[in-house]
Amino acid sequence: MTHTPGDLPSPDEFRRKMAHLDREFADARRYLSRLHAEDYDSLSALMAEIHHSGRAMKVLAAMAVQALDFAELSADRLGGDVQKWLDESAMAQDTAENERDQTELGGEG
């Protein structure tokens, strides 16, 4: 066995942590697959499983990483600018939220 600095996990601990990380990514893929298939019953069961296991935020983070990886791959293949798309999406979301807030408050929408 090789020497590892004190701040690095042992090889066994690293393998255990990687197994957990693999599970988060697998659950994120399962979630997206069921969402895309519009299998809402199965999606609901998966969401309950993830929530009850206390891993919801980890799965959400894994999903975000996968989305960014996909966006980068798409940008490479299609010549798009991922950051520009993200910025425009954020502005569109802000506009939609502002319009919804105005409607809910009785203003013009």
**Which residues neighbour 52 within 8 Å (Cβ) at sequence distance 6 or greater?**
none
Q: Is the pLDDT of residue 109 over 50?
A: no
Q: What is the CA radius of gyration of the chain?
A: 20
Alpha-carbon distance of 27 to 75, in angstroms, equals 25
Structure tokens at 16: 């255990």
Tell me the C-alpha to C-alpha distance, in Å, between residue 27 and each of 16, 54, 85, 88. Answer: 17, 13, 26, 28
pLDDT in tens, 12-22: 887 888 887 88
Predicted TM-score (pTM) of the model is 0.57
Virtual torsion, Cα 32, 34, 40, 43, nearest 10 deg: -70
Q: Is the pLDDT of residue 57 over 70?
A: yes
Q: Is the model more confident about 48 or about 2?
A: 48
Structure tokens at 60: 């959400």
